A = this chain, B = another copy of it.
Amino acid sequence: MITVAVDCMGGDVGVGVTLPACEAFLASHPQAHLLLVGQPEVLKKARPQLLNNVRCRVVPASEVVAMDDPIEVALRKKKDSSMRVAIQQVKDGAAQAAVSAGNTGALMAISRYLLKTLEGIDRPAIASQLPNARGGATTVLDLGANVDCTAEHLLQFAVMGSALVVAITGKPEPTVGLLNVGEEVIKGSDVIKKAGVLLRNAANTGDLNFFGNVEGDDIFKGSADIVVCDGFVGNVALKASEGLATMISGLIREAFSKNILTKMAAIIAYPVLSSFKKRVDHRRYNGAALLGLRGLVFKSHGSADAFAFEQALGRAYDAAHNGLLSSVQERIAHAAPLLSPAGVPSEIKSIPTL
Q: How far is the CB of A31 from chain B (nearest CB, A)?
A: 35
Stretch of A195-203, A267-275, A315-323 contacting B (4+ beta carbons < 8 Å):
A267-275
Cβ distance A233 to chain B, nearest Cβ, rounded Å: 5
Assess whether B256 is in contact with A280, with CB atoms less than 8 Å apart.
no
Interface residues of A in 99-157 (CB under 8 A from B): 131-133, 144, 147-148
Contact A216 B189 (CB under 8 A): no
Measured between beta carbons, the chain B residues less than 8 angstroms from A231 are 181
- Answer yes or no: A348 CB below 8 A from chain B CBs: no
A243 and B221 within 8 A (CB): yes
Asked whether, in the complex, the Cβ of A248 is within 8 Å of the Cβ of B247, the reply is: no
Interface locus among A1-9, A169-177, A234-242: A234-242
The answer to whether A240 touches B216, judged by C-beta atoms less than 8 angstroms apart, is yes
**A179 part of interface (Cβ distance < 8 Å):** yes
Question: Is there an interface contact between A189 and B147, defined as CB atoms closer than 8 Å?
Answer: yes
Q: Is the CB–CB distance between B220 and A247 below 8 Å?
A: yes
Please judge, given known A-B contacts A181-B231, A235-B181, whether A217 and B240 are in contact too, CB under 8 Å: yes
**Of B232, B240, B254, which one neighbours A241 at CB under 8 angstroms?**
B240
Q: What are the 6 tightest A-B residue pairs by CB atom distance, in nearest-first order?
A: A217-B243, A216-B239, A216-B240, A220-B243, A269-B269, A255-B276
